[in-house]
């Protein structure tokens, strides 16, 4: 039985995006100079990409955004009570925004969006090519308009942060509102709560490393995959490519809340997950893999679902592997009705 959880125990804040996914050809990737298995922010040259994707290929729409995905998966793993997961982010007053609201409700996540009409709801083009590679192009739009003073600081919203035991923010949000992240991170450190961050993408480690390193002293649990870990190690002059060594060095970085040692969790796709000790992943037959795009978000969601219940770390990793294993069999970050994780 689960430790009795109260609503809003798990807080997430990030970029709520509507994923527009399609299987594309190599010419399409080349035309927009997209690298496989990469995540980037849309620039002017990508504007036409979104239109062409919808016109030329068979697209599917899924509610997305890394942090929101992880909170949804955590809620799905927990099942009852509803609304253990809270999510904050910014959307537009439009059809896509309505879809995101509806999907969050369906997933029993307590989503409180800052709604504004300057910018439309953000989208993410997920361009999938054969052999299960994908390239993500995020057009943040409204997601980039999140404002601390307009939303996070409001009493009824901040109350929800105060209810949380565990806070999770994907590194992607470092490009949007550093001050919002720092407010939550400091609150967590002062109240001995768990603050979790994801490296999210190589470009975060490279081009937003000042923001990243302002938040790092508050990070209790750091997530990343091997590509992000390598980019992080390079930027931090760790002088190693060994994932275990990178984990140890990241763990040793300065930390504000000394009551807790930092936990670093680095995934390596089908290879073992490194968390200072190493955990084998569940094996999966490659022909059952439909879409690896949501796997990282699902991994975090599974991990958080046990962390918020104060379960031991090996159990957190087991749940993480279970969730990722389920998600890669399905298109988009979607899941069956109920988990059968023990």
CATH code of the domain containing 185: 3.40.1190.20
Q: Report the percent of the chain where pLDDT is more than 70.
A: 91
In a domain, 47, yes or no: no
Residue 317 has pLDDT above 70, yes or no: yes
The confidence band for 290, taking pLDDT boundaries of 50, 70 and 90, is: very low
Asked if 289 and 270 count as a contact pair (C-beta separation under 8 A), the reply is no
> pLDDT digits over 122-137, tens only?
999 999 887 767 899 9
Nearest to 37 by CA among 151, 107, 131, 143: 131
Pairing of strands 17-23, 60-64: antiparallel
In a domain, 27, yes or no: no
**What's the sign of the alpha-carbon dihedral 270, 60, 120, 111?**
negative
- Mean pLDDT throughout 155-178? 98
117 is catalytic: no
User: What's residue 291's pLDDT?
Assistant: 46
Could you tell me the end-to-end alpha-carbon distance of the chain, in angstroms, rounded to an integer? 10
In a domain, 334, yes or no: no
Total domains in the fold of the chain: 1
Domain ranges, residue 277: 10-16+64-120+140-328
- In the structure encoding, which two tokens stand for residue 29, read together? 């990737």
In a domain, 56, yes or no: no
Residue 223 has pLDDT above 90, yes or no: yes
In a domain, 336, yes or no: no
> pLDDT digits over 40-96, tens only?
999 999 989 999 999 999 999 999 999 999 999 999 999 999 999 999 999 999 999
In a domain, 172, yes or no: yes
Q: State the chain's mean pLDDT as an integer.
A: 91
Residue 340's Cβ-side half-sphere holds a number of Cα atoms within 13 Å equal to: 1
Catalytic residue of the set 27, 297, 314, 340 = 297
Nearest to 196 by CA among 293, 320, 304, 297: 304
In a domain, 276, yes or no: yes
The confidence band for 32, taking pLDDT boundaries of 50, 70 and 90, is: very high
Nearest to 18 by CA among 129, 97, 133: 97
In a domain, 114, yes or no: yes
Residue holding tokens 């979790």? 196
Q: Is 210 exposed, middle or buried (0-12, 13-18, 19+ CB in 10 A)?
A: exposed
327 vs 303, residue with greater confidence: 303
């Amino acid at each position: 039985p689960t430790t009795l959880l109260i609503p809003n125990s798990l807080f997430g804040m990030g970029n709520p995006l509507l994923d527009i996914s399609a299987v594309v050809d190599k010419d399409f990737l080349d035309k927009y100079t997209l690298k496989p298995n990469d995540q980037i922010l849309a620039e002017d040259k990508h504007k036409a990409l979104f239109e062409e994707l919808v016109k030329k290929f068979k697209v599917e729409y899924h509610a997305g955004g890394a942090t929101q995905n992880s909170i949804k998966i955590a809620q799905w793993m927990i099942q009852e009570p509803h609304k253990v997961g809270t999510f904050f982010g910014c959307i537009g007053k439009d059809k896509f925004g309505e879809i995101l609201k509806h999907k969050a409700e369906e997933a029993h996540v307590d989503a409180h969006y800052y709604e504004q009409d300057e910018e439309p709801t953000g989208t993410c083009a997920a361009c999938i090519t054969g052999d299960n590679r994908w390239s993500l192009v995020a057009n943040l739009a409204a997601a980039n308009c999140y404002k601390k003073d307009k939303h996070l600081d409001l009493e009824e919203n901040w109350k929800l942060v105060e209810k949380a035991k565990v806070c999770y923010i994907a590194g992607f949000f470092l490009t949007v509102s550093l001050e919002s992240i720092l407010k939550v991170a400091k609150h967590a450190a002062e109240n001995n709560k768990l603050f979790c961050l994801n490296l999210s993408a190589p470009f975060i480690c490279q081009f937003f490393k000042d923001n990243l390193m302002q938040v790092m002293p508050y990070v209790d649990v750091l997530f990343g995959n091997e590509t992000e870990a390598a980019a992080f190690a390079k930027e931090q002059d760790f002088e190693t490519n060994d994932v275990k060594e990178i984990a140890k060095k990241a763990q040793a970085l300065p930390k504000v809340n000394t009551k807790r040692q930092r936990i670093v969790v680095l995934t390596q796709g089908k290879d073992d997950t490194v968390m200072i000790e190493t955990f084998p992943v569940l094996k999966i037959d490659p022909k059952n893999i439909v879409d690896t795009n949501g796997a990282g978000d699902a991994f975090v969601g599974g991990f958080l679902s046990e962390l918020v219940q104060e379960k031991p770390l090996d159990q957190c990793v087991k749940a993480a592997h279970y969730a990722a294993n389920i998600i890669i069999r399905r298109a988009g970050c979607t899941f069956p009705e109920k988990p059968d994780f023990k």
